[in-house]
Chain A
């Protein structure tokens, strides 16, 4: 049996014009939680829907456990569970009826009671779907994906718009599925979700993968370990020779990269204890006053900004 999900050189062009996916290749291993991280409009949903067999690619190949979607779509559907980005389930059915409806489509589904318990929906089993909170609705959506006993779980933006507690509940559900041997592919534009939940990530922008690896590897490789952010009082004077001053900061010890963010300067730094004293010396020698200084662990956000010059969430 091939790897759970594999695709080669996927392309998708809408109406012969808009290129949503432009040559994307992936291979996801069994038992892995893989994340597609990228801003809105990066092509994540198009990619995941092609992999789910809901959308035909313009070109490229998809293999699910070594099968293509043309081989035996019904069998593939037995093996996968899907939560779409936006599905409004029937509001006038209750939670149990909804799960049983979805269970009835599969050859060998889980018992409804187990799924209710696993997704912490037992108390709500008689409530109409229309009366559920956002988090409960999302858990129900995942319940309908899990009830068929899938080997792969596809989740498109599973926690968008949810409160922090509901997001953590969903993360726990995904981890529990993984623990039972399941493979997960999810899309997200939340870097914290990608960082905590995913074993491996692909950062997607404009329909292509711009970086791939484990979260810590990506951060190490591209973000530096730490970020030193500071602001000096003469930033107005620097407008004319911005690149000059950025070059000066880059030459400080242990600095890997520099970028300007509004009126602050961000340094990606390997060892802050070497950088910071030198930085303070330079500022003092120039006769400037330090207005702000902070250090933090580098994040996937820094990786994304480094790669694209933009933030994940521009809103």
Chain B
């Protein structure tokens, strides 16, 4: 047969080779497997453009978008409409000469147009001057700016009409970075990003490797299983440092945010958070055989925390009875600890309760995952 003939020269060459003694070319230490697994994981992540986008670029875009949408206005201007009538011009003049003139923008419109514009939210307040020289305010108690406007305009009109202040007061403007929405948002996004990338980076990767039979191939070697899980989870730490640096750096450079606590504390919190969510990710993915299954599971696990854990708005808005449960969620603990550290400069020690919540979630998940993990 033709195949035998083409084979023959190579076979001859093999025969001429001296049998080689099986000698080790090198010796590996205890942590060689762990180091290589970690490095391989990092290389894979680096070479996956989707990972770079979702882990690094997407949170920045989100922060930029939300930061711009909810930015504080330079000064709070209240816009009011004066309903056209006998005293309308006089009312307008009183407002424009009052102490509040710099923060009030007022115009006169006829009654229908004025009320319609007010109802559509174009004006915070509508003022009608009555024949008996009294005023009627149209305001919306559900709109904070409308309530504020009513108080402000009333004070302006009263003092223009001759009311004297009973005491002398003075006010000093203070709108420091630290109390704005973007300051609230950035630590929340940081926490959410650590959760997202921990759950996906560990859980999804695990199921993918199981589906490709790579897990089975790994356990066919002397590789220690704990090394593998440790490498998968701790690869998150490397990414975490980059994530934290990028988001905080973005906040500081673009929104002039101030980090009150030490960067080291933030990094340490981030590490505990990243590893805890890595553990939760392992547990979520410990049995799933298919990518589709694990995607659903990860979303089910994360969904309550997106809503309840104070990423975009404070969880204090939820009924008081739910607050203890919300505080027991790992993302709540992480977000609260990050906000306390970044915004208030809290020490790590003062966050020990929240760190404990994270450690319990991460530790218990990791142990259960090791016990239940399906390798094949």
Contacts and interface: CB of A to CB of B under 8 A. Distances in A.
Interface of A: 52, 54-55, 74, 77-78, 82, 84, 86-90, 92-93, 97, 100-111, 114, 128, 144, 148-149, 151, 164, 168, 171-172, 175-176, 179-181
Interface in B206-228: 212-214, 216-223
Contacts of A88: 212-214
Most chain-A Cβ atoms within 10 A of its Cβ — which of B14, B26, B220? B220
Interface string B234-271: 00000000000000000000000000000000000000
Given A84-B213, A92-B48, A54 B26 contact: no
A149 B216 contact: no
A78 B20 CA distance: 19
Given A87-B213, A88-B214, A92-B48, A108 B26 contact: yes
27 contacts: A52-B220, A54-B219, A77-B222, A82-B217, A84-B217, A86-B213, A87-B214, A87-B216, A87-B217, A88-B213, A89-B214, A90-B214, A92-B43, A92-B44, A93-B43, A104-B32, A104-B35, A104-B36, A104-B37, A105-B218, A106-B221, A107-B28, A108-B28, A148-B222, A149-B24, A164-B3, A171-B7
Closest 10 CB pairs of A and B: A108-B24, A104-B36, A111-B25, A88-B212, A77-B222, A105-B223, A92-B47, A105-B221, A82-B220, A104-B32
B217 A110 contact: no
B222 A74 contact: yes
Interface string B21-47: 010111110001101110010011001
A100 B25 CA distance: 13
B40 A97 contact: yes
Contact of B25 (A78, A93, A109): A109
A101 B36 contact: yes
B25 A114 contact: yes
B48 A54 contact: no
Given A77-B222, A84-B213, A101 B25 contact: no
A52 B222 CA distance: 12
Given A78-B222, A92-B47, A151-B22, 11 more contacts: A74-B222, A77-B221, A87-B213, A87-B217, A89-B214, A97-B40, A105-B32, A110-B24, A110-B25, A148-B222, A175-B11
Interface of B: 3, 6-7, 10-11, 14, 17, 19-20, 22, 24-28, 32-33, 35-37, 40, 43-44, 47-48, 212-214, 216-223, 376
A93 B42 CA distance: 10
Contacts of A89: 212, 214, 217
B226 to A, nearest CB: 12
B36 A168 contact: no
Contact of A93 (B27, B44, B220): B44
Given A93-B44, A180-B20, A107 B212 contact: no
A130 to B, nearest CB: 10
A104 B33 contact: yes
Contact of A100 (B24, B36, B221, B223): B36
Given A88-B213, A97-B40, A107-B28, A172 B220 contact: no
Contacts of B48: 92
B246 to A, nearest CB: 22
A172 B6 CA distance: 12
B28 A109 contact: yes
B220 A84 contact: yes
Contacts of B6: 168
A89 B44 CA distance: 12
A54 B222 contact: no
B214 A172 contact: no
A101 B218 CA distance: 10
